[in-house]
Amino acid sequence: MEYVTCNLCGHDDTRVRFPSTLPEGTPPQNVEAFRCTSPGYGRHHTIVKCQNCGLIYTNPRFTGEEILDSYVAVEDPLYLEERDGRVLTFERHLRPLEKIKAPPGQLVDVGAYTGVFVEIAAQHGWDAFGVEPSHWAVEQARERGLHMIEGTLANSGLADNSLDVVTMWDVIEHVPNPFGEMQQAERLLKPGGLLVVHTMDIDSGFARLMGGRWPWLMEMHIYYFSRRTLKHMLEKAGFTVIRIEPQGRYLRLGYFATRIGGFSPLLGRLLSKLFRLLRLNEMPMPLNFGDLVTAYAIKT
């Protein structure tokens, strides 16, 4: 494992915010831990807070190379099963984005995984493609006819000043160098282009209430932004932040009933029956504890 300095301000002065819940010397987890649907709740290494700028991050951590290798190797058939909820979430995520920048134009989704957002953006008229390190996920997306680049923004071969929109949904908290990732987006966007970053907010009321039991404290998350540190880093990378606002997820009620069934089969069956009777199966249910936020930033 390696010790890293603060990715936002470069200082090396931290205090422990959440002590490790893993036994000392726990070997690198196999790629299971890096699946999108990985449970892994409550398992994390030491999480520290920079005394200079307030950025919260995992330290020490696996090396950047080990982290990227884990994502390259990841396969996650469960993610495909949960496609419905993600389609719904991304359809909703596209609306506020399109109030700022409307199609047509070139849109790149970073960490596109199996391409759910790329597909929806393309349906909305965007010239959309995805950048994704997982070979398996890229293959899944290509089978659906989507335009994918296997790798990362830095080695994508995309031209400078060429893109209208770059999106990063639940990605920035996983990458070894989030500031570098924002700089790459800045390089590739046209002046006036839009970067959209969705991540957890460790300063939200819900996160504060849950403390060490906040479910997003997980081994695969290495950066924990607040709205303040997210804004600060985006500005440092050359963006003007328009706004940062809470944005939750959506589940179909029918899918929600099947999840409840995992805890209580009887209740799950009752709810399934009820939703079917009332024809509510397809109805979207927002899940928003205010601890997931989306930042909209313009390249200046």
- CA atoms within a 13 Å half-sphere pointing along the CA-CB vector of 241: 18
Q: How far apart are CA 254 and CA 209, in angstroms?
A: 30
Q: Residue 224 or 275: which CB sits closer to Zn ion?
A: 224
Binding of Zn ion by 50 (CB under 5 A): yes
CB of 37: closest distance to Zn ion in angstroms? Answer: 32
End-to-end CA distance of the chain: 37
Give whichever of 6 and 196 is closer to Zn ion, judged by the CB atom. 6
What is d(CA 262, CA 18) in angstroms, rounded to the nearest whole number?
30
Binding test (CB under 5 A) with Zn ion, winner from 36, 48, 53, 188: 53
Q: Please report how close the Cβ of residue 169 comes to Zn ion at its closest, in angstroms.
A: 25
Q: By CB under 5 A, which span of 1-9, 112-120, 151-159, 248-256 interacts with Zn ion?
A: 1-9
C-beta neighbour count of 222 within 10 angstroms: 23
Q: Is 237 in the site for Zn ion (CB under 5 A)?
A: no
8 A C-beta contact, residue 293 and residue 235:
no
Per rule CB under 5 A, is residue 6 in the interface with Zn ion? yes
Contact flag: residue 156 with Zn ion (CB under 5 A) = no
Cβ(33)–Cβ(220) under 8 Å? yes
52 binds Zn ion (CB under 5 A): yes
Residue 75 CB, nearest distance to Zn ion (Å)? 35
The single residue among 9, 141, 233, 257 that binds Zn ion, judged by CB under 5 A, is 9
Alpha helices per DSSP H over the chain: 64-73, 77-81, 83-100, 116-123, 135-143, 178-188, 205-210, 227-236, 253-263, 265-277
CB of 56 to Zn ion, least distance (A): 10
What size, in residues, is the chain? 300
Scanning 21-29, 43-51, 80-88, 239-247 for contacts with Zn ion by CB under 5 A, the matching segment is 43-51
Question: Residue 111's Cα: distance from chain center in Å?
Answer: 8
Residue 233 lies near Zn ion (rule: CB under 5 A) = no
Q: What residue ranges bind Zn ion (CB under 5 A)?
A: 6, 8-9, 11, 50, 52-53, 55
